[in-house]
């Protein structure tokens, strides 16, 4: 699996030069899958074979070394120390590999459900999902720099906003619209419009992190305007909750929403075309598309080929 080196995404985890990151391995898995698919579309048969071969080997390694029984580990030091394992007295579970096991397709259906169930049980709070649990209080700070932070703050069991969109995406990919929206609302700035004294940041901007329940400042957020959180939040809402996803040769509309939503409308620019999308949910389902019409013409499924899209396209989706 990919080496962790000084750090991967989490600067506080000291993998060592030869330690390995499960989280980055899952990102690599998605990259290999996309690479092989693109190579196939371009007729690059040799590159496609290479990508699929590397993907198969990585999948085998992930299944053999990263599954911990109920969730995925976070990574390994070369000395054998595990991050994010049931064997770990602190930092027993991390959010990122659980969400990315679903996003990347590394998890089996049973593993995906188990991993995300453990996220809800061990990491989810009313203010967002913690980056790990339990916090570090006795570990060697040369190995886990998070020890230098108070419990519930930033990398030491705090709520990193950058990662929240990944959890929203994972639950939506599993068809759980209620849970995806609950996770979104827990950290969405606009959800705190009438509770500014809790969040303590502007209600129109995401931030870097929020204090978790181990902190006396639970719910307080810090470092707005300096985060990749906004892009992932936008992506999670548009591509996975609203379900409007660009494809290489068209666009898919496959919403995953709370069952209480009667529907929604969206206008979107897509490859120099304007799409007006109306989604109706008469049966109160969370996911599932029963019928799609494009400019009055019924489609077989939720994928719409690009050649059916006119300069202004009216799309109606009925869930069920």
Is residue 75 very low, low, confident or very high in pLDDT (cuts 50, 70, 90)?
very high
Task: For tokens 């916090």, name the residue.
Answer: 135
Catalytic site includes residue 68: no
CATH label, 67-239, candidates 1.50.10.10, 3.30.565.10, 3.40.50.720, 3.50.50.60: 1.50.10.10
Q: Does residue 190 register a pLDDT over 90?
A: no
Q: What is the pLDDT of residue 73?
A: 98
Is residue 166 very low, low, confident or very high in pLDDT (cuts 50, 70, 90)?
very high
Is-same-fold flag (67-239; 245-319)?
A: no
Pick the more confident residue, 191 or 136.
136
Q: What is the pLDDT of residue 227?
A: 78
CA distances from 19 to 5, 35, 79, 145, 217 (A): 7, 25, 8, 16, 34
Q: Is the C-alpha dihedral spanning 235, 238, 243, 244 positive or negative?
A: negative
DSSP state of 140: -
pLDDT, mean of residues 281-301: 95
**Gap between the Cα atoms of 99 and 115, Å rounded:** 8
CATH of domain 245-319: 2.60.420.10
Structure tokens belonging to residue 195: 């509770």
Q: What is the pLDDT of residue 176?
A: 98
Q: Does residue 202 register a pLDDT over 90?
A: no
Pick the more confident residue, 264 or 190.
264
**Beta-carbon count within 10 A of 295 CB:** 12
Percent of the chain predicted with pLDDT > 90: 88
Average pLDDT of the chain is: 95
Query: Rounded to 10 degrees, what is the CA torsion of 33, 61, 4, 14?
Result: 140
pLDDT tens figures, 18-27: 999 999 999 9
Q: What is the pLDDT of residue 226?
A: 79
Q: Does residue 313 register a pLDDT over 90?
A: yes
- Cβ-contact 246, 285 below 8 angstroms: no
Which of 8, 11, 59, 272 is catalytic? The answer is: 11
Q: What is the pLDDT of residue 201?
A: 87
pLDDT tens figures, 78-105: 888 999 999 999 999 999 999 999 999 9
Map out the domains of the chain as residue ranges. Answer: 67-239, 245-319
**Gap between the Cα atoms of 252 and 239, Å rounded:** 9
Count CA atoms closer than 13 A to 256's CA, side-chain side. Answer: 24
């Amino acid at each position: 699996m990919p080496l962790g080196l000084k750090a991967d995404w989490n600067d506080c985890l000291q993998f060592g030069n030869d330690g390995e990151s499960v989280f980055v391995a899952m990102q690599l898995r998605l990259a290999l899958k996309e690479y092989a698919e693109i190579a196939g579309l371009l007729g690059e048969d040799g590159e496609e074979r290479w990508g699929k071969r590397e993907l198969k080997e990585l999948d085998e390694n992930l299944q053999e070394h990263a599954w911990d029984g109920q969730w995925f580990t976070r990574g390994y030091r070369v000395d054998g120390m595990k991050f994010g394992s049931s064997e770990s007295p602190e930092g027993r579970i991390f959010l990122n590999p659980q969400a990315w096991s679903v996003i990347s397709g590394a998890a089996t259906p049973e593993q995906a459900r188990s991993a995300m169930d453990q996220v809800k049980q061990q990491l989810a709070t009313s203010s967002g999902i913690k980056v790990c649990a339990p916090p570090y209080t006795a570990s060697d700070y040369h190995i886990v720099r998070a020890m230098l932070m108070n419990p519930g703050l930033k990398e030491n069991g705090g709520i990193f906003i950058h990662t929240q969109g990944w959890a929203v995406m994972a639950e939506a990919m599993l068809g759980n619209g209620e849970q995806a929206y609950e996770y979104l609302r827990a950290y969405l700035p606009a959800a705190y419009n009438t509770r500014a004294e809790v969040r303590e940041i502007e209600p129109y901007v995401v931030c870097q992190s929020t204090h978790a329940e181990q902190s006396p400042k639970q719910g307080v957020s810090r470092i707005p305007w300096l985060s990749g959180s906004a892009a992932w939040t936008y992506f999670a809402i548009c591509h996975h909750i609203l379900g409007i996803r660009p494809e290489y040769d068209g666009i898919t509309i496959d919403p995953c929403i709370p069952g209480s939503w009667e529907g929604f409308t969206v206008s979107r620019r897509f490859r120099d075309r304007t799409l007006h999308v109306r989604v109706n949910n008469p049966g109160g389902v969370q996911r599932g598309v029963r019928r799609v019409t494009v400019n009055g013409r019924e489609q077989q499924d939720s994928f719409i080929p690009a050649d059916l899209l006119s300069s202004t396209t009216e799309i109606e989706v009925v869930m069920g």
